[in-house]
Chain A
């Protein structure tokens, strides 16, 4: 990172709220992460630097966007950076950050036969999914609030960390 000014998509270390506290809505703001070094202005990696870097280029590099899909909007990227920050705080390292084929950003997790992602669509919708390849996937909508995003990170972490059952193992080759 050689930027002399903070780029637009620096991961937010917190969120601000607008309106009624009962309907808190994230207003992404761009602040320096807590673990930024004062000497180098660099973020401690812990497996996240390349994800933040990828997120920043998704809106600029058309070659990273699937054909026919819209490039991620700044808003989708900003909300994705909020979740990345939440994941980093909880040491939940994603596998990939990609441009979604439905238009937006997806943060993806793969752990053996388990798959999860959170998609920040350009439409403003945020959808999460967890799947173990054996059962049908579980999809849920995520409100753009700090509580919901933290809940999604926790849910995915719990899902990925749960031990695979013997039934999982016995059916692993069933699909092929």
Chain B
């Protein structure tokens, strides 16, 4: 888990997994509820350098959900308002290693290929959160 001086990798493969922790309130069946997914909290652990249960280290009772890198949405919004010139948004993982967690990554939004610091479109946010909920899989069910 420790960085130990290693640099940024960013060699994400389509089949790699991204993990995040969850609580009971976030889960319906074996998936995350879209309404409980925050657009702003994009932190995940990358399977290349992490086990699923690493995300619940020091969080006893919490569960683990995952996405596949290839599941991250592309070309949003799908249904832009008529007569508007809407640029397309893509979501990709970005390696942001921390000293105590080398696998730490973030899901970054790009507009017309350029990284965005902040997304203002509620339409895109809502589509993103819905797709991320539907494409999630809870690997370890939370007990709290």
Q: Kindly list chain A residues whose C-beta atoms are within 8 Å of the C-beta of B29.
A: 110
Contact status B38-A175, CB under 8 Å: no
Smallest CB separation, B130 vs chain A (Å): 4
List residues of A (36-74) whose CB comes within 8 Å of B's CBs.
Answer: 64, 66-69
Contact status B131-A136, CB under 8 Å: yes
- B interface, size bucket: 20 to 34
Map CB proximity to A onto B21-65 as digits: 1 under 8 Å, 0 otherwise. Answer: 000011011000111111111000000000000000000000000
List residues of A (99-157) whose CB comes within 8 Å of B's CBs.
Answer: 99-102, 106, 108, 110, 115, 117, 119, 125, 127, 129, 131, 133, 135-139, 141
How many residues of A are counted as interface, with CB atoms below 8 angstroms from the partner's CB atoms? 31
Contact status A64-B133, CB under 8 Å: no
Map CB proximity to A onto B106-144 as digits: 1 under 8 Å, 0 otherwise. Answer: 000000000000000011011101110111010000000
Q: Kindly list chain B residues whose C-beta atoms are within 8 Å of the C-beta of A96.
A: 28, 33
Known: A66-B26, A131-B134. A119 touches B35 (CB 8 A): yes
Contact status B130-A115, CB under 8 Å: yes
Whole-angstrom CA separation of A110 from B34 in the bound complex: 11
Contact status A102-B134, CB under 8 Å: no
Whole-angstrom CA separation of A4 from B122 in the bound complex: 41
Contact status B126-A127, CB under 8 Å: yes
Whole-angstrom CA separation of A139 from B28 in the bound complex: 21
Contact status A108-B78, CB under 8 Å: no
Contact status A127-B122, CB under 8 Å: yes
Q: Supply 11 A–B pairs (Cβ within 8 Å), ascending by A.
A: A66-B36, A67-B41, A98-B35, A100-B36, A101-B35, A101-B39, A119-B35, A129-B130, A131-B134, A135-B78, A136-B131
Residues of A near any B CB (own CB < 8 A)? 64, 66-69, 95-96, 98-102, 106, 108, 110, 115, 117, 119, 125, 127, 129, 131, 133, 135-139, 141, 175-176
Closest 9 CB pairs of A and B: A106-B35, A136-B78, A101-B38, A137-B130, A139-B126, A133-B134, A129-B130, A101-B36, A100-B35
